[in-house]
Every structure is written in C-alpha cells, then in structure tokens.
Chain A
Amino acid sequence: DAKTTQPTSMDCAEGRAANLPCNHSTISGNEYVYWYRQIHSQGPQYIIHGLKNNETNEMASLIITEDRKSSTLILPHATLRDTAVYYCIVYSGYSTLTFGKGTMLLVSP
C-alpha cells in the first residue's frame, strides 16, 4: 500500500528550478517527509526531510503544505548531475523506509 504518490517522470532544463511534487494524504502526525535520490547504479542519497515547516539545505528546499498532505522538493538550479530517480517517503524514524517507484528526473542541456 503506497503511502506517497509521485509522477513517473519529469523533465527539466539545465539551470532551471526543478519542482518535484509528492502527495501523502494519509500521513500520520508523527511521520516525517523524507526525500532521497538514486543516481544510476549507486545507493540512495539523502536529500532533505521535514515534519511541517519548510526546510532548506545546501542541496534543496522542501515545501510542505499546511495540511501536510503534499509536499514539493525544489532543486533551485538543476544540473545534469541531478538526473536521478527521486523518492518521497513518509517515515516516523522507528519504522522502515519503503521505496515506491519515485520520479525519474531528466535534466537536459
């Protein structure tokens, strides 16, 4: 039973912002929204996570709606190296990470 819904694929031009949406309408009060990405033939890389406030780090920004039913990961200036599968996962810290199909982001020149 998928707890998140993401588009299968997205395209983005190099240098532009990439906005990746995620729906998590059944999220529980103690669950965080985590984002990971997996570049081909590598292990997943942690990007960012948040509970209810918007978060920003050196990699990305995470915008969570007030009702916490959806969120958007923003890569402000996408590069070719950002081409990867991006996973949005709801996680309480004491459960296990369950990976769905994610969004395949293709950044083009």
Chain B
Amino acid sequence: GAVVSQHPSRVICKSGTSVKIECRSLDFQATTMFWYRQFPKQSLMLMATSNEGSKATYEQGVEKDKFLINHASLTLSTLTVTSAHPEDSSFYICSARDSGGADTQYFGPGTRLTVL
C-alpha cells in the first residue's frame, strides 16, 4: 500500500513553545490531507482537512489559530501546535488521500506530543 511518513515520531516540549509536525506522502500525490488527534483509550478525532494550495478546514471546536496547517505541495502538509500547553499532549496522526487511486486514505505512523 501507499506510504505516509510523519516527523518527528515523538516530541517533548516545554509549555508555551511551538511544535511543527510534518506529514509526507512518499509514493503518491495527495491533494487532500487530514489531521487527527487521539487521546488515550479514545478513537481518532478529525481536527482539520488540508487542501493543497488553499486554507485548511477545521472541525468544530478546533482552534485554527492554535493549530496552524500548511499544505504547500502535493506531498507535504505540516501541523504547527502554537503555544503548546499540557492539555495539547496527545497522539497526532495525519492521513493522505490518494487522488490517483480509489480515494483511499493512508495514515502516517503518528506523532506523540508531550507538553511539560
């Protein structure tokens, strides 16, 4: 299947700092990428939909000024958690939709963010 990478896989930061997470589709182009968040023992929750070359669409309750999304190319989307706080600690997962295939979404391995 198609491969999606995320970097970093794990990050620990101090409260108040910003953290950038990269999501790349390695062997296909993705017009649309998605960002999810998963808290312990819960299912994945969609945060935002990222379309190449345009502004992201955020789900209700997700602050767009706090979670900055950039999708500048067909293979890269970034999520920046600005002024991170301990409650932002979570597992962040991206996915990319294979526009050239059957619109199947492929997921990255996730990024574990811990804010101290």
In the bound complex, how far is the Cα of B28 from the Cα of A46, in angstroms? 15
Least distance between B112 CB and chain A CB atoms (Å):
8
* A interface residues (Cβ-Cβ under 8 A, vs B): 32, 34, 36, 38, 41-46, 49, 87, 93-94, 96-102
C-alpha gap A46/B2 in the complex (Å): 9
* Residue B109 at the chain A interface, CB threshold 8 Å: yes
Complex Cα distance A42/B10, Å?
Answer: 12
* Chain A contacts for B6, CB-based, 8 A: 43
Size of B's binding interface in residues, CB under 8 A: 22
B95 sits at the interface (CB 8 A):
yes
Contact status B49-A42, CB under 8 Å: no
- The 8 A CB mask of B55-70 against A (1 = contact, 0 = none) is 0000000000000000
26 inter-chain pairs at a CB distance below 8 angstroms, sorted by A residue, are A32-B102, A34-B104, A36-B107, A42-B109, A43-B6, A43-B107, A43-B108, A43-B109, A44-B44, A44-B107, A45-B107, A46-B104, A46-B105, A49-B102, A87-B43, A93-B102, A93-B103, A94-B103, A96-B49, A97-B34, A97-B46, A97-B95, A98-B46, A99-B43, A99-B45, A101-B43
- A interface: dominant SS: loop
User: Chain B's interface: helix, strand, loop or mixed, by majority?
Assistant: strand
By beta carbon, the residue of chain B nearest A57 is B1
Q: A96-B46, A99-B44, A100-B43 are in contact. Are A41 and B91 (CB under 8 A)?
A: yes
Q: In the bound complex, how far is the Cα of B46 from the Cα of A32, in angstroms?
A: 19
- How far is A87 from B109 in the complex, measured between Cα atoms in Å? 16
Chain B residues, Cβ within 8 Å of A44? 44, 93, 95, 107
Among B49, B95, B105, B110, the most chain A Cβ lie within 10 Å of the Cβ of B105
Cβ of A91 to closest chain B Cβ, rounded Å: 8
